[in-house]
Each structure stands twice: as C-alpha cells, then as structure tokens.
A and B are shown apart, each in its own frame.
Chain A
Amino acid sequence: MSTSDGWLAAALVPLLALGPVLWRIAHGPAKDRLVGQNLVSLLAGLALLLAAQGFGRPSYTDVALVVSVLGPTGTLIYARFLDVLPDSRLVKWTALIGVPATVLPLCVATGPGRAMAKLLLVGALLIAGSVVTSARGGDGGTTA
C-alpha cells in the first residue's frame, strides 16, 4: 500500500461515518437533523482534505475550503428557519479532535508553503464553524 493509498484509506473513515448520519437526518427528530447537517459538512471537509492529499492534487483543497465556508453558513441559515440550534457535544468534539488529527499530519506531509497555509485556514474555519454552531446556549436567533 503506497502513501497515497494510505491517505485515501484515511479519507474512508469520515466517509463511512456519513452513513449513520444520513440515517439520523432522514429519520431523526428536528434537533438531530440539524446536528446531522452540521456534522456532515465537517466530515465532508475532512474527507476532501485527505482525498486531496491522496490524489496528490493540492488544488483539490479548494473544494474543502468552500465546504468550510458554506457548511456553517448553511447550518446557521437552517437554524434560523427551524428556530433551533442545538448544542451538540458530538459535533464539538469531532471538530476539536478530528480536525487537528487530520490537518496536522497533512501539514507535515505537505511541508511549509502556500498549501500549508491553506490547510491551516481550512482547519481553523472548520473548527470555528463547528464550535460556534454546536456550543451550549447557541441559538440561531428568531426568524425575521
């Protein structure tokens, strides 16, 4: 198994985690669905970062960058419409553990440079977005 295969195998982990999340989104109560939507963008961002490294194409990180920007935006917009922004330890800890566990090895693999700055930016955005949308007492605000 080559290194690139190793990265792709790592990308499989967040990808497989999406399965149960889909089940929660499709069948769970309103709160779970929003948590699910939040978790999906986080996991997708991680999978995309790992896949970019696995394919050896740094330019694929642009997709992860867009996910890290639009994911929290989408969650907050949903929260505004459903009038609920549940606190979720699951999302928070997935972000706080999963993102560094993904981004730091990637940074080591890419070495210093523009690509690494972009990786760190994506990581910071993913953590910030997930923490803001999942922390206790958070609220999307009332609709207007």
Chain B
Amino acid sequence: MTVLPYLVAGWIFLIGVYGLVTSRNLIHAVGCLAVTQSSTYVLLLAVGYRNGGTAPVFSDAPTDSRVVDPVVQALALTDIVVGATVTALLLALVLQLRKRHGTVDPDALSELKG
C-alpha cells in the first residue's frame, strides 16, 4: 500500500506512451495522450494524500481538522481542464491533416513526406 499508488501512476504513464508509440491512428494517439496525462493527476494526488485527512474545504468541517495537501489538488484541477482544451487543439490538427493528406495514419504521413 505504501507505494502502490505511485506504481499505478507509473504504469498508466508507460501504457499511455506505449499506445502513442504503436498507434496507427492519430485519433487513437490523442486518446492515449489523454491517458498519459491522467497519470500525472494520480501521482500528484497520491503525493498529497494524508492518512485520515479530509478535503481542505471547511464549509462542513471544523477548521482544525486534519486535511490533505491543497496545493497539489489545485495543480491537478486546473491542468485537467486546460488539458482537455489542448486535446481539442490536437484533434483539430488531426482533422486538418486528414484534409490535407487524406490519412490519419502517422506512418503513411511520414511516407508522404519522403
């Protein structure tokens, strides 16, 4: 239990990169990138967790309760939304590629180049 969350984060990262490397479809590759991104959230929140802690939101908890680390949560929170818009940008690029070169296979694209 002491390292399991970290190892899971590492596994998600590796499997996501594996998908990126072996992908034959850019849309699939963008999905794999989204998976890879989620490994960072898991790692960040795992680092910030404290046994017996509760969320650092004091509307329904006493202000002296033991809380988990809010800083990493703030980092992960903004990154998730910004990451989604970046995913959208990548998908827009895929659509452009498709329009210009008629394919979404990265290998076929590099063949086109020469």
Contacts and interface: CB of A to CB of B under 8 A. Distances in A.
A–B direct contact (CB < 8 Å): yes
B85 interface: no
13 contacts: A55-B54, A56-B54, A57-B54, A57-B55, A57-B57, A57-B60, A57-B61, A58-B60, A59-B55, A59-B57, A59-B59, A59-B60, A60-B55
Counting contact residues on chain A (CB < 8 A from B), the size range is under 10
User: Interface of chain B, helix or strand or loop or mixed?
Assistant: loop
Interface string B38-60: 00000000000000001101011
Interface residues of B, number: 6
B58 to A, nearest CB: 10
Contacts of A56: 54
Contacts of B54: 55-57
A134 B60 CA distance: 36
Interface in A40-81: 55-60
Interface string A2-16: 000000000000000
A44 to B, nearest CB: 16
Nearest to A58: B60
A129 to B, nearest CB: 23
